[in-house]
Every structure is written in C-alpha cells, then in structure tokens.
Amino acid sequence: MVAIAGIGCGGSKASAAYVGATTSSCSWRLHIRGRPTVAQARLVRCYLWALAHRDVAGLLAVAANIPPVRITHTDLAHAADARAGLATATITPNPSDPTSALLTIIYADGARAQLGILNMIAMGGPSVWRLVIGTDAHPEPPGPSPAEMSPSAAKNAA
C-alpha cells in the first residue's frame, strides 16, 4: 500500500494545475492502494479537492474531455463525503487496456464511489490521465422520428 498525504489546495488550484496536458500539483490527504502512476495519484488528489470544495471548474479540469462534458448535480453527490476525512483510493489497472483503470474511493464516512480513469491518448488526445466524470455537453440528437404512414397511403392500404 502506498500512503500519500498532503495539505489542501488553495483557490482554483485544481483547474490551474490541469490546464493543457500538464500533470497536476494538487495536494489532498489520501491513502492510495495499488500501484498508480504519479500522475494518477495526483489526479485523484485534485479530484477529491475539487469535489470537497464543489469546484466545478476543478472537476472539469480533471474530467475526460473528449467529448466535452459538463458537471451536474450528480457529479457533486459525494462532496460532503470528500470533506468527511481521510479517504482511501484503490486504482486497479485494466489488464486488457493500459490506457484505462478503475478507481474505487472509500470515503471516511463509509460512502463508496467507482469511477473510470482514462489516458486521453486513447481518445486521440495528449498522454494525460483524466477521470470519466460529467455528462456529454453536446449529446447527439435522438435521430429521426419513426416513419408514419400518410393519410392517403393509409386509405389506399385499407
């Protein structure tokens, strides 16, 4: 087990740290299990800091952004849990895909969350780890309406 501890970030450090493809410098007290990369561990700390502070810009900064996403109330569901105390994060690599992993967070109050971690290189982006959070900002339209028979065709068919 790797234990990583630190002090809280100030201001909008979570978003500033992830502008472009740089590795974050956020700090948040956390136990990490597994064998995460330094970038993955920093990503989780920035996520928890932004979540605890309900910092939407910070959450967007750590979110996988291909396609663009928006942060919703659902993404903030564990904000109070993140503030509750020392969390434990377990990062489990995907054995068949080195660009993805599973993140399991157990918060101090016992709440639990599972998120995906994705290296954006898999989506044609830079080689930087991001969390699979948020909702597609530009969802595709649902498609054409089902075909309806015209009144004259219905009359002829009868």
In a domain, 153, yes or no: no
Q: Please give the residue that has the higher pLDDT: either 107 or 15.
A: 107
Long-range contacts of residues 73-76, Cβ cutoff 8 Å, at least 24 apart: 74/135, 75/133, 75/134, 75/135, 76/51
For 1-9, what is the mean pLDDT?
Answer: 37
Give residue-wise pLDDT tens across range 95-127.
999 999 999 999 999 999 999 999 999 999 999
For the cut 60, the answer to whether the pLDDT of residue 75 exceeds it is yes
pLDDT band at 153, cuts 50/70/90? low
Phi/psi at 156 (5° precision): -70, -30
For the cut 50, the answer to whether the pLDDT of residue 19 exceeds it is no
For the cut 60, the answer to whether the pLDDT of residue 149 exceeds it is yes
In a domain, 157, yes or no: no
In a domain, 28, yes or no: yes
The model's pTM is: 0.76
In a domain, 115, yes or no: yes
Our count of domains for the chain comes to: 1
Q: What CATH code is carried by the domain that includes residue 114?
A: 3.10.450
Confidence at residue 32, expressed as pLDDT on a 0 to 100 scale = 96
**Enclosing domain of residue 41:** 2-139
In a domain, 145, yes or no: no
In a domain, 69, yes or no: yes
In a domain, 9, yes or no: yes
The region of weakest confidence among 27-31, 59-63, 88-92 is: 27-31
Confidence at residue 9, expressed as pLDDT on a 0 to 100 scale = 43
In a domain, 158, yes or no: no
Share of the chain above pLDDT 70, in %: 77
Q: Mean pLDDT for the chain?
A: 84
